[in-house]
Chains A and B, each alone.
Chain A
Amino acid sequence: MSGNGASSSSLNMISGEDVVNNNFSALVVDDSPLLRLLHDIHLKKYGLKVQVAENGKVAVDLFHLGASFDLVLMDKEMPVMNGVEATKELRAMGVTSMIVGVTSKDGPGEQQAFMEAGLDYCFEKPLTPEIISFLLEELNKHHNKD
Chain B
Amino acid sequence: MLGLDADRLRADLNRLLAFLFHQGILDEQYLQLQQLQDESSPNFVSEVVNIYFHESEKLLRNLRSLLMDREFSDYDKMGIHLNQFIGSSSSIGAKRVRNVCVAFRAASDQNNRAGCLRALELLEHEYCILKNKLHELFQIEQQRLLAAGVRYPMLN
Residues of A within 8 A of B (CB): 31-35, 37-38, 41-42, 45, 75, 77, 103-105, 124-126, 128-129
Tell me the dominant secondary structure on chain A's binding face.
mixed
Instruction: Give CA–CA (A34, B56) in the complex, Å.
Output: 11
> Chain B contacts of A124 at CB under 8 A?
90
Provide 8 A-B residue pairs closer than 8 Å at the C-beta atoms, listed in order of the A residue.
A37-B48, A38-B36, A38-B91, A77-B80, A103-B87, A104-B83, A104-B87, A126-B90
For B31-68 the 0/1 string (1 means CB < 8 A from A) is: 01100100001001001100110010000000000000
Task: Tell me whether B86 is interfacial, beta carbon within 8 Å.
Answer: yes
Question: Taking the nearest CB of chain A, how far is it from the CB of B152, in angstroms?
Answer: 29
CA distance A128 to B87 in the complex (A): 13
- Which residues of chain B have a CB within 8 Å of any CB of chain A? 29, 32-33, 36, 41, 44, 47-48, 51-52, 55, 80, 83-84, 86-88, 90-92, 102
- In angstroms, Cα B41 to Cα A33, docked, is 17
Give Cα A129 to B26, complex, Å: 18
Chain A residues with Cβ below 8 Å from B47 are 37
Given known contacts A34-B51, A34-B55, A41-B44, A125 and B32 CB-to-CB distance under 8 angstroms: no
Q: Are A77 and B83 in contact (CB under 8 A)?
A: yes
6 nearest A-B residue pairs (beta carbon): A126-B91, A104-B86, A104-B87, A104-B83, A125-B87, A34-B51
Q: Is the CB of A38 within 8 A of B87?
A: no
Instruction: Determine how close the nearest CB of chain B comes to the CB of A101; give it in whole angstroms.
Output: 12
